[in-house]
Amino acid sequence: MDELLKKITNLEPLKKNITEITAKELSSLSAPCYYPKTKRFFYEILNRLKLTEKEFKDFVKRNYKGTKAEKWILPNEPGTNLLLFSMYLFLRKNDYATYSTLMIYLNIIQYSRLMFKSIKFCYEEPFKYTLDTLTRTHLFFREKSIPNSLFYLSKELQNKFTKYIKEWNIDGIIAFITEARSRISQSVKSFAESYYKNKQEGSVIKTQIDGPDDEGNTYQYKVLQRGQKAIDDVSKKITTYKFVDKKALEDAKNNTKIKTSIAILIVNEITKDEYFNNIKILLQLFVKDLNNVKMVCGNEYYDYVRKLMALKRTTAQLYFKAQVSILLVEILKNLKLIDVYKSYTNQTQFIINSFLAFYITSIFRNSLC
């Protein structure tokens, strides 16, 4: 362990990469039949940590030598251990946000490997139908989507195993690897069984509209599906195409009573490319707990945003209000206004944070509804 730690001097390249790739994969996982390829990440992380493949594989062998897992295949898998080791590195720095992101990414990788194994050749229609008709107790149904399921599972694993990872407790790490894989495997296995049954029977999502209720449900399903694409579109619209949404600006101003001068500085600054991943993560968290279309496209939208911004306590490391704050701090640092912001009252700071939340989600709303 000490040999590797001596070689690692800068975690920023890895931090930026992990945040970017996790946001991208979470967004993509909302599409049917999507599970990312998992070979490249191992070499990308090694490169950012300035480690060689041999160095790390030798470390893995030493790590489990003499333990009950010395001959087990799963705990000795280099990719899983590299993500765990990266989590340990950020916990040493008390960077719990990046640690949480790595936890989610590790579960995405495990999910992807299991899906490639269970459903090598995937067809979209039976995949979508299966998601729509799972039992209410199934993780993917209960948490409303596959990305939400991996969020939930990551939170559960963090609560149980963070202390072991931070201490690099080998028995605790072995238990973590086993439980993480097992819990995802259970969900994937039951999903795959339903998928093949539905595929064989030719089941597809109903497209005929038989009445008002069906019409409303079909519309809602389509709108929520469009929402996943809208996350990418809005993130690009703001940062790539430098779009300033005047309608969203006025809406956000009216709902927060922010000073116009501050609002304009923020909306102009946020068009820079460097904020793309922050916006994407923020929007992914915004849609995470949506129950129906009205929460975005109806008047419920305003109360929903206020509720997210009023959150005072949560055990989640990745949540909407915190990401708004992280993004705002980056914006104000670049504007050289962070000291001015810190001099404001808590109420004024909250107004500025709320403005940013309303502005970005209002652009999303305008694009979706």
Q: Which amino acid appears at position 9 of this protein?
A: T
Token output for 312: 């005072």
DSSP category for residue 120: S
Tens digits of residue pLDDT in 20-66: 888 888 878 878 899 888 778 888 898 889 888 999 999 999 988 99
DSSP 336: T
Total residue length of the chain: 369
Looking up tokens 């991996």, which residue turns up? 150
| Percent of the chain with pLDDT strictly greater than 90 | 47
Q: Which of 234-248, 306-320, 329-343 has the highest mean pLDDT?
A: 329-343
pLDDT band at 227 (very low <50, low <70, confident <90, very high): low
The DSSP secondary-structure symbol of 274 reads G
Mean confidence (pLDDT) of the chain: 86
Can you give the residue ranges of every domain in the chain?
A: 2-201, 212-368
d(CA 277, CA 232): 10
Which tens digits make up the pLDDT trace of 147-206? 889 988 999 999 999 999 999 999 999 999 999 999 999 999 999 999 998 888 765 443
pTM: 0.60
- Measured CA to CA, the distance from residue 281 to residue 217 in angstroms comes to 27
- Opening angle at CA 358, ends 357 and 364, nearest 5: 95
